[in-house]
């Protein structure tokens, strides 16, 4: 009986822009099932910039 190697994900679809990108384009997320964030780095960074711009007092603690 052959043993199968575990299924390895190499690409993922960003939940914000909808593009399929390699996992290297996603930040790490320990709580996620696949270990990566749901938004690609570009979308995540854009969302963070938008948040800091719209709420500077909260963004700086």
Cβ(29)–Cβ(35) under 8 Å?
A: yes
The H or E element containing residue 28 is strand 26-28
What is the value of pTM for the model shown? Answer: 0.77
Question: Terminal CA-to-CA distance of the chain, rounded, Å?
Answer: 57
| Per-residue pLDDT tens over the stretch 2-60 | 666 677 889 999 999 999 999 999 999 999 999 999 999 999 999 999 999 998 777 66
If one counts every other C-beta atom within 10 angstroms of the C-beta of residue 34, the result is 11
**Residue 12 in contact with residue 20, Cβ under 8 Å?**
yes
């Amino acid at each position: 009986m052959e043993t199968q190697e575990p299924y390895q994900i190499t690409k993922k679809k960003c939940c914000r822009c909808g593009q399929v990108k390699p996992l290297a384009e996603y930040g790490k997320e320990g709580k996620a099932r696949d270990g990566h964030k749901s938004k690609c780095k570009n979308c995540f960074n854009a969302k963070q910039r938008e948040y800091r711009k719209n709420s500077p007092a909260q963004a700086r603690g």
